[in-house]
Amino acid sequence: MSDYKNILLTCDLAHDDSVVNNKAVELAKQYNAKLSIAHVVEPIPAYSFGYLGIADVEGQLLENAEQEMEKLAGGLSIPKQSQYVKIGAVKTELLQIAEDLGVDLIIIGSHGRHGLGRLLGSTANAVLHGAPCDVLVVRASAD
């Protein structure tokens, strides 16, 4: 088993991922590792709002995500300088953050309910296959 020094917890602020979050905190303590947290806001397609006000809507989504991230990360004792909220393609942004930080473990939750294909989900699957480091996929809930 690797000795992890730098762990990235990816979060989906729309779900209660306390199982995933607790696992990340537990592993960071176990390895005495730095724990960072990241969330990516997906951009809104231009056709969704008739090209008007998209920047305003995305800006509001980003601001809301930053506020939610601050609450979540504060509860997990993750300092502001280790919190990342980006806008873009989820897989691309998460992998870029991981590369920039030099993480050796990415922790991501899975919300799939049935079967192996759904167990990982598209985001977890994309990160798993694109990451240059270990990836731990944690089932977000028991149901």
Q: Which residues are paired to 11 by β-bridges?
A: none
pLDDT one digit per residue (tens) for the chain, 143 residues: 568 999 999 998 877 789 999 999 999 999 999 999 999 998 877 655 555 555 677 788 889 999 999 999 999 999 999 999 999 988 999 999 999 999 999 999 876 654 444 445 677 778 888 898 999 988 876 54
The closest of 68, 74, 10 to 37, measured between CA atoms, is: 10
- Looking at residue 129, its pLDDT comes to 83
Q: Which fold has domain 28-115+126-133?
A: Rossmann fold (3.40.50)
Query: How far is Cα 141 from Cα 143, in angstroms, rounded to an integer?
Result: 6
The closest of 41, 40, 38, 58 to 49, measured between CA atoms, is: 58
- Looking at residue 119, its pLDDT comes to 46
- Looking at residue 44, its pLDDT comes to 75
The structure's pTM equals 0.85
Q: Where are the domains of the chain?
A: 28-115+126-133
